[in-house]
Each structure stands twice: as structure tokens, then as C-alpha cells.
Structure 1
């Protein structure tokens, strides 16, 4: 990526102080991510509600910024498909943020980008460059790459260059829901990333995932039930209020469970506004592979697309029949007379 124009002053000393002030909280949050794998549960064993579990196959040495990742080869994906849906979220690197200054600078840049998202402002290369310490600016392209991955993974936002001539960037949502505005009505809290992660876990686990499975997958991202997050606040409250109540997610007791335990499913709004294929495409993008690298999931997503196409075709046919009915009635009446 070419270097942009000379740095501009950030808009206002107060904004700069606010963005920098949030960085320490973000760094603390990033370091909370677990580093040891825990076996995933299943709906049959029905574990009691609690912190989400890191799914099987997660790296024991992964950095907090890694979060959700997927098998990087057709062989691994095929094996996963043969064994059934799984949430294999492996870390993508081997050094922690504490050991890697470029990752620390990426976290700083993430906080800067979230600040611009909150303000609804366009972003320039020069502003992003200035947010990074001078001694690391020669490695800025790598810092931006890591920050961009983090923005996609945790917040569901793509850092996209929208005006190459002037080096302007914008934050574009990955899921692109029709009701995006209502989902992210509070611009300081981008929730699409949480929704994408939970929808992906549900899809991978056979279209239903226990509460423990979902929460433990979010633990990999540094998001814990009952523990305040620097951006999301109390995550469980946010999920129940902003994702379950509007019916993006369904939260219910597992039938026949005793003692009772709970599970998440796709809600009616998620089924209406996105598709399994779109979620699979995002999963594949985060893993730098193709959706077809997950054969069984890809087949299921294709069936879902076909079923949706049939429903749309039937609805169109019914609409055409209804529209043509009034015009036929007078002609029939005239013929009868």
C-alpha cells in the first residue's frame, strides 16, 4: 500500500485525548483472552450456562487479537465436515500482544478507528499514521493489516479505501443487514461482529449452539459474560437486549434438559435479513479461503439458497395471479352475458 500524504492534525485536542484515553482500557481487554484450549460441549450433554467455551482445536499459544479462525486447507475442512459441525477457532499467530509491539500498535489503531466510527467521520491515511508511534510508522502497512483483521473479526467492520486519490477510508459492515441502522443505532457500539460470530457458531454446531458453546467462543475474542468489556459494556446484557429481543437470535431452554440449560438459534430476523451462504462467506474470508473449503457447510448453504429461491418464485407467482385476477373478472362476466 503506498504511503499517503503528509499527516494532518487530528480534529481537536479533546478528541485526541479521548481516543488515547480509551487505549489503555482496550489493551487490558485484549489481554483477557484465554490461551489454553477447552473441549467443546454439545447440545446432548447440555452443559450449564456459563462463560463461553473456546472450541476444540484452538491454539494454546494464540494472541488475543486472533479470535475466530477456521481450518486453512481443504483437507482440514473435509475432516471437520466428516466429523460433523464443529467450532474450531484456532489462533492465527503465535506471539502475544504483550510480546509484539506491532500488535500493540494495531490495538491502538483499532481504538482510533472505533472513535472515528462513533463520530461518523471519514478516515484518512495520514490520521491513521499519526495514531501510531513514530518508531513503528515504517511498519504501518503491517499494523493496518492487523488492525483491519481485528475490526472485521470482533466488530464486523471492513476498513475500506473509498477514495484512493485522496487516501480516504471508511468502515463498511460485513454483514450488510437491511436493518443495520437499528442494530447499530448506538454508533459507539458496533454489534454486527458479535452477531456474525454467534450466527457462525450456531451454523457450525448444527444450527443450534448451547449457551456455553457460544459464550466460550466469544471468550477467544476477549468477550466474557458478566465481565465489562471496554467497547461492549456488559456483553450478556447487550446480547439479550440488542440481539435476542429484536429476534436476530432465539434463546430458549433446551427441550427436556434437567437441570434446565439454554441454547441459541438463528432468529426470524436473521433468517429474513441474511443467509447461511453470506455467513459462510464471511467465515471463509476471515480464514482467507473459499466457502467451498467447508464442503458440508457449503452444501447446506446451497440448499438454503435453493429453498429461498423457490419461496421467492412461489411468492412472485402468487402475486402475479392476484394482480391478474381483477382484469379477468370483467372479461368473464361479459362473456357470460
Structure 2
């Protein structure tokens, strides 16, 4: 009998996507290689989170999934039916894609662009934290591009991410020297830092709190607030790398600044508390703006919350009516300003530009209107 040959067990092949996944994961983390070796003009960004998507939640960004492998590069589903006498079938399948750009090249470009966006985002937050001017020339050196439209796309992406997390806008404050700054959406002290000194903006946390209160029916218990904040890895009594000690910031600082109301619920033993919007919040923002912030954070639109959207619309209408009623005689003042009569000019100067109702004007003054 022929001698039997034993087959050695073959070790499973290592997935060819492992290296690609690791590389894509590093790119999603914010470009480790680039961040570790910044340019000579760029500060070390090690104390700024690699990805702002993890700045609030504290969790790393999701790992990009590898695309499914295909047997053809043209994107067509291969026809498995037999074709008799079709000699040109193989030649057509071997032709390169008409676009000339492979999916891997397109993916590499997207990864490189995302890395530059993340790097610029870190740079902007670092400059804000250190209270240093943000110059366009420095930003161009950070992203290492001389293409105007590409820089605009990178800056827009970084600005969008910073605005969604910190509720600050990247604005050009001096067109002559092309300098920028991060401007808080609310009039918090120190441009969103709450307390004097260096640090990152607290406006995003405040807008988040206002959103929780609004979504809970314009009042939220302390338990509900902390339950939500815990999902963002923000815990009472535990120092946060952006917000410091969050309980003090929320129940003391923001209450003292009148952005929040923190009051005890009646007939509760032990005592329980709830949060409401403070007068500064009502004055400096609106339910629609807060709803837009919440929707953007959840990657949706305000109309995805029908009841809150209807309430925000009613709030806008009420604000418009109150604004009109708060300026009696505005029409009369506008007419006086447009009038060239010396008496009208004298009246505006004498009243120190205070608007008086039309019935309080003299007969001569009314003739000027």
C-alpha cells in the first residue's frame, strides 16, 4: 500500500486588512505621526484632545470599517450566467475604471483631509486655551497646503466641529492681518471661560444644559441633568479636563452668572433640586437656537423634535411681539430722522434720541412727520 502522507495543519492567513485598519484607525485618532512632530512654528498640542469628537464624551472615535472586497474594480456586479461565444467578456472586465481613480486612492485622500481637519482643530483650541492670536499664516503652516479652496474646506470642517462641541464660532476679527478668534455664542465672561485665566470654553456645556432643560419641559431635575452628563463622562465631584469640577461650575458659577436657576423642589425630604433657564439665558439665546445646537450635536435637524420645534416657533413669535411693543413711537422716531426740518433735528437732540409716542409731540412737531 502506498505510504500515507500526513498533511501539516496550515496556520490561518493573516487578514490583509489588518494593516489598513490600523492605519485608518490612526488617521481617525487625529494623525499621531503628524501630531507628535509639529512644525517648528506650531506649539505642542499634547494637552488638547486628539479628536474633538472625544472632547466631551471622553471616548475614542469609532474605528472605520473596512470596505467589502469586490472582484471587479468597476463597481459592477459580475454576471454569473454562462455566455456562449462571447469572447469579449474577459477583455471588458479587465478594463480599468473610466474615472481613473481607484477607491483606495479616494479613501486615502479622505483620510488625509480628515487628519488635517483634526490637526487644525487641535491648533485652534490650543491657541484659544493659551490666549494667543490665531493667524492665517500659522494655520497654513499647520495644514501644510497652499491651495486656497482646500484650506477653506479644512477650516470649515474644523470650525464646524468646534462649534458643535464648544458653542464657539471661528471668526475673522481682522481682515488686514488675517487674524481669527473663537467667539462664544453667549456673553459668558472671558469669552466663554467663565473664570479669568487660560482654559477651554464652557459655552458648549451651558448650551447642553439649556438643551436638557428645554427637552425636559423647561425644567429638569438634578437627577436628570447628571444622568445625561454621565453619558458624556462628566461626573459630579470628579475633575474634568475641560470643565474642572463640574458641580461647582453648574450649581455655583452658572447660577451666579444668572444663566441657570437652581432651586429646591417643594415638600422634598431629603431635599431635591431642579434646574431652569436663568434670565441671562432668556436674554442671550432662544429656544430655537438651543434646539438647533441640540439637533446639530445629534446630526439631525430641529424638525426631528416636533413638539419642541413648535414651542420654539411660538417663542420666536412672542419675542418678536415683545420686541415691537418695547419700542413705542419707533415709527415716529424713524420719520423724524428722515425729516430735514430743523425742528425735527432739534427735537431728536433735545430728547437725546429717546423715542416718544406720537401723541406726546407738539402740533408743530407732528407736522414734520
For Structure 1 versus Structure 2, the TM-score category normalised by the shorter chain is 0.5 to 0.7
In structure 1, runs of 5+ residues without a counterpart are 1-6, 36-60, 64-99, 133-139, 332-337
In structure 2, runs of 5+ residues without a counterpart are 1-37, 63-110, 145-150, 333-354
1:69-119 Cα deviation digits (max 9, x unpaired)? xxxxxxxxxxxxxxxxxxxxxxxxxxxxxxx99999987765432221132
Q: Does the 8 A contact of 2:159 with 2:170 survive in 1?
A: yes
Q: 1:143 to 1:228 in 2, by over 3 A?
A: farther
1:283 aligns with 2:298: no
> Partner of 1:252: helix, strand, or coil?
strand
Q: Does the 8 A contact of 1:32 with 1:222 survive in 2?
A: yes
Shift of 1:249: 0.6
TM-score (ref. length: structure 2): 0.53
1:20 aligns with 2:45: yes
Bigger-Rg structure (1/2): 2
Q: Does the 8 A contact of 2:54 with 2:61 survive in 1?
A: no
Map of 1:9 onto structure 2: 40
> Partner of 2:308: helix, strand, or coil?
helix
CA RMSD of aligned residues (A): 4.7
1:32-51 superposed matches below 5 A: 33=57
Q: Does the 8 A contact of 2:45 with 2:126 survive in 1?
A: no
> Partner of 2:201: helix, strand, or coil?
coil
Q: 1:111 to 1:20 in 2, by over 3 A?
A: same
Map of 1:119 onto structure 2: 131
Matching residue within 312, 322, 327 for 2:361: 327
1:290-329 superposed matches below 5 A: 290-317=301-328, 322-324=356-358, 326-328=360-362
1:177-188 superposed matches below 5 A: 177-178=186-187, 181=190, 183-184=192-193, 186=196, 188=199
Map of 1:41 onto structure 2: none
Q: C-alpha distance in 2, partners of 1:267/1:108?
A: 36
Q: Does the 8 A contact of 1:223 with 1:235 survive in 2?
A: yes
Q: C-alpha distance in 2, partners of 1:20/1:182?
A: 21
Bigger mean CA deviation after superposition, 314-323 or 259-268: 314-323
1:254-265 superposed matches below 5 A: 254-265=265-276
Bigger mean CA deviation after superposition, 109-118 or 180-189: 180-189
Q: 1:210 to 1:101 in 2, by over 3 A?
A: farther
Q: Does the 8 A contact of 2:56 with 2:165 survive in 1?
A: no
TM-score (ref. length: structure 1): 0.57
Q: Does the 8 A contact of 2:165 with 2:297 survive in 1?
A: no
Aligned length: 251
Q: Does the 8 A contact of 2:56 with 2:233 survive in 1?
A: yes
Q: C-alpha distance in 2, partners of 1:159/1:183?
A: 13
1:1-337 superposed matches below 5 A: 9-10=40-41, 16=43, 19-23=44-48, 30=54, 33=57, 110-117=121-128, 118-124=130-136, 127=139, 130=142, 148=159, 150-159=161-170, 170-173=181-184, 175=185, 177-178=186-187, 181=190, 183-184=192-193, 186=196, 188-317=199-328, 322-324=356-358, 326-328=360-362
Q: Does the 8 A contact of 1:210 with 1:263 survive in 2?
A: yes
> Partner of 1:317: helix, strand, or coil?
coil
Q: C-alpha distance in 1, partners of 2:296/2:188?
A: 23
Q: C-alpha distance in 1, partners of 2:262/2:114?
A: 35
1:48-81 Cα deviation digits (max 9, x unpaired)? xxxxxxxxxxxxx986xxxxxxxxxxxxxxxxxx
> Partner of 1:20: helix, strand, or coil?
coil
Q: 1:22 to 1:128 in 2, by over 3 A?
A: farther
Q: C-alpha distance in 2, partners of 1:182/1:305?
A: 26
1:297-334 Cα deviation digits (max 9, x unpaired)? 11100111111122222222377785446535999xxx
> Partner of 1:301: helix, strand, or coil?
helix
Which one has more relative contact order, counting CA pairs under 8 Å at least 6 apart?
1
Shift of 1:147: 5.7
Q: 1:10 to 1:216 in 2, by over 3 A?
A: farther
Q: Does the 8 A contact of 2:288 with 2:309 survive in 1?
A: yes
